[in-house]
Amino acid sequence: MLKLSLPIPLFLIVFLLKQICCNELTFELPDNAKECFHEKLKIGSKYTLEFQVVTGGNYDVDVELRSPSDKILFQVQKKQYDQIERTADEDGVYQFCFSNEFSTYTHKVIYIDWRVDGDPEHEISSANPRVAEGALTMIESKVGNIHRNLESCIDYQTHHRLREATGRARAEDLQERVQIWSIGQFILIIIVAIGTVLLLRSFFTDRRTPSSMTWHR
């Protein structure tokens, strides 16, 4: 039995390390499309949904979050970025949907970050006091602090990357458009110049025949 007392706190920590996990996805939402994601949650678990429209049109999307009893927990129209933090107050499958149905031709790239923190069953095991020395506990708390700060650092980096991706997509789009339109205008100028001359020539060539007859009276 003594042998078990060492792995238990270790596994608890490992469990903690594994539990605070997230699901980050970036997907493309075509025009007139709706994309839904579902997850089964237990009552009392805290969840966070963060979304950001990275590229596409006016950078907006409709979002809807529904509870298992089909109650709308959160609904927003045409938003670029938002963060929703809620606690699940019923057991079951929660779903959140992104809709691009208001757009006719722009498809959007959307980044989502879905995090589920904690399960009530997990709290039973964490209530078990760990056998640890005083000094170790202080190091542990400092290490925990560093861990949280690094996590927020990674989060900031992700958002920076998304904003930069938005700017870069615009810049690359602009570069292509400048090229295409410049070539188009160049050719158009040449066509219009030649066309004008030909048109004028055609005016004077037609009127030539009746006027030449009047001259030779």
Partner 1 sequence: MGNQSFLFIVFIVIQLILTTHSLYFHIRETERKCFIEEIPDQTLVIGKYKVELFDAATNTYLPSTPGIGMHVEVKDPEEKIVLSKLYTSEGRFTFTSHTPGEHVICLYSNSTAWFGGQQLRVHLDIDIGEHAVDYQQISAKEKLTELQLRVRQLLDQVEQISKEQSYQRYREERFRATSESTNQRVLWWSIAQLLILVIAGFWQMRHLKGFFEAKKLV
Pick from 137, 58, 40, 159: which is nearest to 102 by CA? 58
Near partner 1 in 172-191, by CB under 8 A? 172, 174-175, 178-179, 182, 185-186, 189-190
- C-beta closer to partner 1: residue 72 or 154: 154
Element (H or E) spanning 140, and its range? helix 134-215
DSSP 59-81: S-EEEEEE-TTS-EEEEEEEESE
Near partner 1 in 108-147, by CB under 8 A? 109, 114, 119, 121-122, 124-125, 128, 136, 139-140, 143-144, 146-147
Residue 74 in the binding site for partner 1 (CB under 8 A): no
- C-beta closer to partner 1: residue 58 or 182: 182
Please name the amino acid found at residue 44.
G
**Coil, strand, or helix at residue 23?**
strand
Q: Compose the 31-70 pattern: x for residues touching partner 1 by CB under 8 A, - for all others.
A: ----xxxxxx------------------------------
CB contact at 8 A, 108 and 26: no
What tokens were used for 136? 């170790």
- C-beta closer to partner 1: residue 128 or 214: 128
Ramachandran angles phi, psi of 155, nearest 5°: -65, -45
Residue 213 in the binding site for partner 1 (CB under 8 A): no
Q: Compose the 191-210 pattern: x for residues touching partner 1 by CB under 8 A, - for all others.
A: --x--xx--xx--x---x--
